[in-house]
């Protein structure tokens, strides 16, 4: 008899941001396949005796291949187990969810998707700012800062990303932001556009730094550090809390 897979969005890392449904699935799981950013105190909700399998991917580090992760999900579920695939933030946002869904569908295994707090929303809340502003920021756009090769994607819409009326959030973009900014400035983005670097959101190492896009690009060209991060830029609100600048 086939098991069942629950894709659970764990939020940014703070276990208090887990949904009630997410906690229920973790407590009932026979096996949990988790990302690096979904580990730590979040896994305290898993019952004793459940299998814990780390399958996270981090830039610049050795990581399991995606086909291996997908096959693990199929193998565990084929044994009749209740499986949780624990992903950071929300599973459907830069989480390679589709590839794992296809593997389960091809194997005839049922699943559900439980949304989590997206890291961008958690970071904005931690910074004490809204992502939209009346009259000046009516649009929010999310973009990944690297492709499958770990480099800046060559098919991104630079005109849209240089829109001065949009608040832009760059995921996984610390290494490529200097190159991205050079392209954005060529498309008209001012060098003094406000920016925020949000690192390790929802953890004890959380930090928020306010800067300009040019200042942030200069900082990251010298040292990207090891913390996972989001980059915000655009007409960002001046109010805020917890900044390190």
Q: Which residues are catalytic?
A: 35, 57
The CA radius of gyration of the chain, in Å to the nearest whole number, is 19
Please name every residue paired with 87 in a beta bridge, in sequence order, or none if there are none: 9
Q: Is 81 helix (H, G, I), strand (E, B) or coil?
A: coil
Q: How many Å apart are CA 130 and CA 121, to the nearest integer? A: 9
Please, where are the H alpha helices in the chain? 20-28, 66-78, 97-107, 119-127, 158-161, 177-186, 213-222
Q: Are strands 31-34 and 51-54 parallel, antiparallel or unpaired?
A: parallel
Q: 73-100 burial, b for 16+ CB within 10 Å, e for fewer?
A: bbebbeeebbbbbbbbbbbbbbbebeeb
């Amino acid at each position: 008899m086939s098991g069942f897979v629950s894709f659970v969005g764990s939020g940014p890392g703070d276990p208090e941001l887990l949904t009630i449904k997410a906690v229920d699935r973790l407590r009932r799981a026979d096996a949990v396949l988790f990302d690096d950013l979904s580990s730590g105190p979040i896994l305290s909700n898993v019952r004793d005796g459940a299998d814990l399998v780390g399958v996270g991917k981090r830039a610049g580090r050795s990581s399991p291949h995606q086909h291996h992760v997908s096959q693990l999900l199929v193998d565990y579920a084929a044994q009749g187990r209740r499986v949780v695939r624990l992903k950071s933030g929300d599973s459907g946002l830069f989480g390679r969810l589709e590839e794992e869904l296809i593997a389960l569908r091809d194997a005839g295994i049922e699943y559900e998707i439980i949304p989590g707090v997206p890291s961008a929303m958690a970071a904005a809340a931690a910074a004490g700012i809204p992502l939209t502003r009346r009259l000046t920021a009516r649009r929010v756009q999310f973009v990944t800062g690297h492709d499958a090769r770990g480099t800046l994607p060559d098919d991104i819409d630079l005109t849209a990303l240089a829109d001065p009326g949009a608040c832009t959030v760059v995921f996984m973009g610390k290494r490529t932001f200097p190159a991205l900014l050079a392209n954005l400035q060529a498309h008209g983005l001012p060098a003094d556009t406000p920016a925020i670097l949000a690192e390790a959101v929802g953890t004890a190492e959380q930090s928020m730094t306010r800067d300009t896009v040019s200042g942030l690009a200069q900082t990251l060209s010298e040292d990207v550090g090891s913390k996972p991060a989001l980059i915000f830029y655009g007409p960002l609100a001046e109010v805020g809390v917890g900044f390190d600048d």
